[in-house]
Amino acid sequence: MWNRRVALFKSAPSTRRSTTSCSGSQTPLININPFTPDSLLVQSAALQRSNRKRSHWNDSYGDDLEASDGELEEIHPPSKRITVVESNMMSRYAAEFHELEKIGCGEFGSVFKCVKRLDGCIYAIKRSKKPLAGSVDEQNALREVYAHAVLGQHPHVVRYYSAWAEDDHMLIQNEFCSGGTLSDVIKENFKTMCFLSELELKDLLLQVAHGLKYIHSMSLVHMDIKPSNIFISQKTIAFTDDDDNDGMTTNVYKIGDLGHVTTVNNPKVEEGDSRFLANEILQEDYRNLTKADIFALALTVISASGSEPLPPNGEKWHEIRHGMLPHIPQELSQEFLSLLKLMIDPDPECRPSASALIKHSVLLTTSKMNTDQLRMELSAEKFKNALLQKELKKAQMAKAAAEEKVLQTVKVLTGSTVQSCNRASRIVGKRMNRCVSLTI
């Protein structure tokens, strides 16, 4: 299926926008999504149609042929030839979006933060590099679009909205994640030498495991799990129903960049980042593809814990593939370390699945613990706020009292000065004025 590459970016005469069959019906030019079971049905129907058609042309005449044609017109096989460039006479990107800033750049292309002119919402637009036609990047772009379309919407997968082609570029409209990527967080943490705590690491592991469980349930594998492909969205959790600001902001981790996604049953594997690549994939052993995502997830969590940058090759690379955990500079519980070690087991069958991870005893109470921690932090913040309000009220009362005292003093001084002036104007004796000294 993948060998028959879609000529998405090649130009074609406009007269070939649709093809005409021998029966006179027109077949629309559409792509076949290899990640959906419907594609298998469509191809099977197309093949049966072709076989029946040849058989009827050879063996049938008159009424039989007419009945055959009537049946064939109900099923139109899709063509793999589709041209999008010609239909984009005007740039959709410029017409529909206002570009705010460039927020990312990689091998595939660049990502821009944009406002859609129609709805006023912010989106992330990924724009590929050129030329794409006939390149591996073209296949990756198509794979990402296919995978997004099949996966739909999930809280731990970056949401997909639309995709189109312009001037040999592929553009993909996704949700904008205000927190950036996990890779950005790791870089900032290294500057301050303050890393995610064990509770935060467990929360990260649990959320991404939920996303992987969903992807794997669709018989797909990501094949490129790493910090730069984990996006962060901020979410406010409210604990009460009143109108007060009772809530705290927490991170929601989402899996993105689906350019390496492939199927479990018919894998077409393109190796991702070697730092997070499981050894069996390097050996072209694809019997446990989903466990390669688990291996990469463990190393992603380890990277967020403050571990030194993972090696792309060499002796340390092989040590990790033999089940040795990289050095982690912070103190983590033995149970959590054992789980991470299990996730990078040299035997992929020994690694837990995404479903098993979610139910693992080490992570089972993480969500509740996280909520309890947020409640405690919120209570502490409320207590601090109450103390500050009390101190502020006392300060305001003291200020008001001081101002009142100053006013009273000014009144007394003003009255005394008037009396002194009146007394000083009186002449005592000859030409001597009485001097009055007033002390307050």
Whether residue 109 is annotated as binding a ligand: the answer is yes
Is 106 annotated in a binding site? The answer is yes
Which residues, 6 or more positions from 67, have their beta carbon under 8 angstroms from its beta carbon? Answer: none
Check the annotation: does 255 bind a ligand.
no
Query: Residue 341 is which amino acid?
Result: K
Nearest to 154 by CA among 67, 62, 247, 216: 216
Contact status, residue 186 vs residue 227, Cβ threshold 8 Å: yes
Helix or strand or coil: residue 184?
helix
Q: Which long-range contacts (CB under 8 A, 24 or more apart) does 201-204 make?
A: 201/301, 201/304, 201/305, 201/332, 201/336, 202/336, 202/362, 202/363, 202/366, 203/251, 203/366, 203/367, 203/370, 204/230, 204/253, 204/301, 204/304
281 is known to lie in a ligand binding site: no
DSSP tag of 356:
H
315 is in an annotated binding site: no
Ligand-binding site membership of 403 (annotated): no
Place of tokens 């000014």: 410
44 is in an annotated binding site: no
Is 110 annotated to bind ligand?
Answer: yes
In 196-314, alpha helices (H):
198-217, 279-282, 289-304
Q: Is 180 annotated as a binding residue?
A: no
User: Catalytic: 241?
Assistant: no
The burial class, CB within 10 Å (0-12 / 13-18 / 19+), for 24 is exposed
CA 297/CA 271 separation, integer angstroms: 15
- In a 3-state reduction of DSSP, which class is residue 133? coil
Is the sign of the CA dihedral 198, 201, 205, 207 positive or negative?
A: positive
Answer yes or no: are the C-beta atoms of 221 and 215 closer than 8 Å: yes
Residue 406 in marked binding region: no
Amino acid letter for position 378: L
**Collapsed DSSP state (helix, strand, coil) of residue 146:** helix
Place of tokens 């613990």: 369
Q: Please answer whether residues 168 and 130 qualify as being in contact, where contact means their C-beta atoms are separated by less than 8 angstroms.
A: yes
Tell whether 385 is in a known binding site: no
Cα separation values, 259 from 117, 137, 172, 349, 438, Å: 28, 9, 11, 25, 91
Q: How many other C-beta atoms lie within 10 A of the C-beta of residue 191?
A: 7
Q: What token pair was written down for 191?
A: 């500057």
Residue of 119, 167, 168, 224 marked catalytic: 224
Flag whether 126 is marked binding: yes
E strand or H helix that includes residue 421: helix 366-424
What residues are annotated to the active site? 224
Q: Which residues are annotated as a binding site?
A: 103-111, 126, 229, 257
Binding-site members for Mg(2+) are: 229, 257
